[in-house]
Structure 1
Amino acid sequence: MEREEILENALNGDINAFQTLFAGFQHQLKSYLYRLLTDRNDVDDLTHDTFIRAFDKISSFRQDSSLRTWVFKIATNLAYDHLKKLKRWPADAQDQGAALAIGSGKIAETFRIVHQTSNAGAYDMMEHIDFCFTCISKTLPIENQVALILKDMYDFQVKEICLILDKTEGIVKHLLHDSRDTMTEIFDNRCALVNKNGICDQCSQLNGIFNPKQDQQEQRMKLELVKASKKFDRAALFNLRTILVKGIDPLHSSGTDLQDIIMRCTRTSIGDVSDFFEPSLRKAD
């Protein structure tokens, strides 16, 4: 069956046809929502809610954009409603997370258990950069974060982002420029991979904890980001980071479970999660 026929069936209320189309970008949608929400349970809930709301409103889809763009707009609105109840992350959120883990034997032990027992519990320097990118993007206003991630991570065109955010092209371009400047500035002050004064716990401490026999300098020098740090300016280094991060799926990678548990610790430290040891994690006590 041709895609046009499947879309026509979906527009006529065929939920199986709509599911077929939705499945074509569901994986990417969940990855996008994780970068916004940083919680896998919330991602699952909002993905389900997006599917239900999009199918309920499918008759209003006028095909003035791709179905993917239209569905991402619905998902973005749901994510915005969720995120506006929370505070923006401070630039030192990772430091607060590290302090919480260091001060709690239970949390540190949970990290070790996930690392030792999970098939997705590896520590990888490239995934660490993805983790940092997500944390730093959380310091941005929601619209800035959405524009940046859609454009730089998922290759949405500016005109598509205009539809998703209901903003003019000029405003979207301003959001992108401002977001990149802010991200670049924070990375410049934090990144221990390219700056001797960097304070990032992910690369300055965790690599040594989870990979005690690994030659850290050797691993770092494998990264183009590190090789280029002495040659390129800050903006170029930010572009290298986006290229690297685009190649990583935060929900399906060798270190997904470890990065997620570290993310939960970070969220707990800044008050986004009231209790690190909620029921889904207490089995690791």
Structure 2
Amino acid sequence: MEREDILQLAISGDINAFQTLFAEFQNQLKSYLYRLLTNRNDVDDLTHDTFIKAFTKISTFRRQSSLKTWVFKIATNLAYDHLRKSKRWQADAQDRAADLAIASEEIRQVFWMVHDTSPAGAYEMREHIDYCFTCISKTLPIENQVALILKNIYDFQVKEIGLILEKTHGVIKHLLNDARNTMTDIFEHRCALINQNGVCHQCSHINEIFNPKQDQQQELMKLELVKASKKYNREQLFELREQLVKAIDPLHAAGTDFHEEIMRCLRTAIGEKSDFFDEEADKAG
């Protein structure tokens, strides 16, 4: 059956046809939502809610955009509602998480357990850079974050982002420029991988803990960032980070479970609703 025929069936209310089309971009949608929400449970809930709401409203789809863009708009609005009461993360959020982990033997034991027993508990430095990218993007206003991630990580066009955010072309360009400048500044002052005078040494420190020492240099040299750091300017280094992030699915990577624990520790450290110790008790129960 041709895709156009499947779309016509979906618009007429055929849930199986809609599921077929939704499945084409579902993994990307979940990855995108994770970068906004940083919580796998919330991602699953909002993906389900997006599917239900999109199917319920499919008769209103007027093809002013692709079905994917239309669905991403619904998901973005649901994520925005979910995050409305949350504060933007501060640039020191990862430092606060590290302080909490250092102070808590229980948290450190969870990290070790996941690393040792989970098939997705590996530590890879490139994946930690992806984690840092997500954390630092959370310091942006939500519209800037959405615009940057959609454009630079998921290759949406400015026109499509304008439809999703209901903003003009000029406003979207402004959001993108501000987001990029802010994140470039934060990375320049915090990323110890590139700037050894930075205050954040998570990549090298966690690598030292979880990888044998003989593997550390090999892990570093896998990264184009390391080889490029002496010859590229900060804007070019940011572009390299984006290329790395685009190649990683944060929900299906070698260290997905490991970074989920780090993210939960961070959310606890900055005082978000989620609490590391309560969640561990729930999982154990």
Question: TM-score under structure 2 normalisation?
Answer: 0.97
The aligned counterpart of 1:57 is 57
Give the stretch that moved more between structures: 212-221 or 130-139.
212-221
Using the TM superposition, give the Cα deviation of residue 283 of structure 1 relative to its aligned residue in structure 2, in angstroms. Answer: 4.7
Counterpart amino acid of residue 4 in structure 1: E
Using the TM superposition, give the Cα deviation of residue 279 of structure 1 relative to its aligned residue in structure 2, in angstroms. Answer: 4.2
Using the TM superposition, give the Cα deviation of residue 198 of structure 1 relative to its aligned residue in structure 2, in angstroms. Answer: 2.0
Q: Distance in 2 between matches of 1:140 and 1:203?
A: 22
Q: Distance in 2 between matches of 1:232 and 1:195?
A: 12
Change (3 A) 1:236 1:8: same
Using the TM superposition, give the Cα deviation of residue 72 of structure 1 relative to its aligned residue in structure 2, in angstroms. Answer: 0.0
Give the stretch that moved more between structures: 275-284 or 226-235.
275-284
Q: Distance in 1 between matches of 2:254 and 2:58?
A: 37
Gap runs ≥5 in structure 1: none
Three-state SS of the structure 1 residue aligned to 2:251 is: coil
Residue 208 of structure 2 contacts residue 216 of structure 2 at CA under 8 Å; is this kept in 1? yes
Listed one character per residue, the Cα deviations across residues 33-52 of structure 1 (whole Å, up to 9, x for unaligned) are 00000000000000000000
The aligned counterpart of 2:15 is 15
Q: Distance in 2 between matches of 1:25 and 1:281?
A: 34
CA RMSD in angstroms, aligned pairs only? 1.4
Change (3 A) 1:49 1:282: closer
Counterpart amino acid of residue 155 in structure 1: D
The aligned counterpart of 1:177 is 177
Listed one character per residue, the Cα deviations across residues 109-144 of structure 1 (whole Å, up to 9, x for unaligned) are 000000000000000010011000000000000000
Change (3 A) 1:168 1:283: closer
Question: TM-score under structure 1 normalisation?
Answer: 0.97
Using the TM superposition, give the Cα deviation of residue 215 of structure 1 relative to its aligned residue in structure 2, in angstroms. Answer: 4.1
The aligned counterpart of 1:46 is 46
Three-state SS of the structure 2 residue aligned to 1:277 is: helix
- Are positions 1:200 and 2:205 aligned together? no
Counterpart amino acid of residue 224 in structure 2: E
Residue 123 of structure 1 contacts residue 210 of structure 1 at CA under 8 Å; is this kept in 2? yes
Q: Distance in 1 between matches of 2:106 and 2:21?
A: 44
Residue 94 of structure 1 contacts residue 201 of structure 1 at CA under 8 Å; is this kept in 2? no
Using the TM superposition, give the Cα deviation of residue 200 of structure 1 relative to its aligned residue in structure 2, in angstroms. Answer: 2.4
The aligned counterpart of 1:74 is 74
Q: Distance in 1 between matches of 2:92 and 2:214?
A: 27
Listed one character per residue, the Cα deviations across residues 160-186 of structure 1 (whole Å, up to 9, x for unaligned) are 000000000000000000000000000
Using the TM superposition, give the Cα deviation of residue 284 of structure 1 relative to its aligned residue in structure 2, in angstroms. Answer: 6.2
Using the TM superposition, give the Cα deviation of residue 251 of structure 1 relative to its aligned residue in structure 2, in angstroms. Answer: 0.2
Change (3 A) 1:280 1:52: farther
| 1:154-165 aligned within 5 A | 154-165=154-165
Counterpart amino acid of residue 163 in structure 2: L
- Are positions 1:139 and 2:139 aligned together? yes
Gap runs ≥5 in structure 2: none
| 1:85-104 aligned within 5 A | 85-104=85-104
The aligned counterpart of 2:109 is 109
Listed one character per residue, the Cα deviations across residues 60-81 of structure 1 (whole Å, up to 9, x for unaligned) are 0001100000000000000000
Q: How many residues are paired up?
A: 285
Residue 264 of structure 2 contacts residue 274 of structure 2 at CA under 8 Å; is this kept in 1? no
Using the TM superposition, give the Cα deviation of residue 277 of structure 1 relative to its aligned residue in structure 2, in angstroms. Answer: 2.2
Change (3 A) 1:210 1:27: same
Using the TM superposition, give the Cα deviation of residue 274 of structure 1 relative to its aligned residue in structure 2, in angstroms. Answer: 4.1
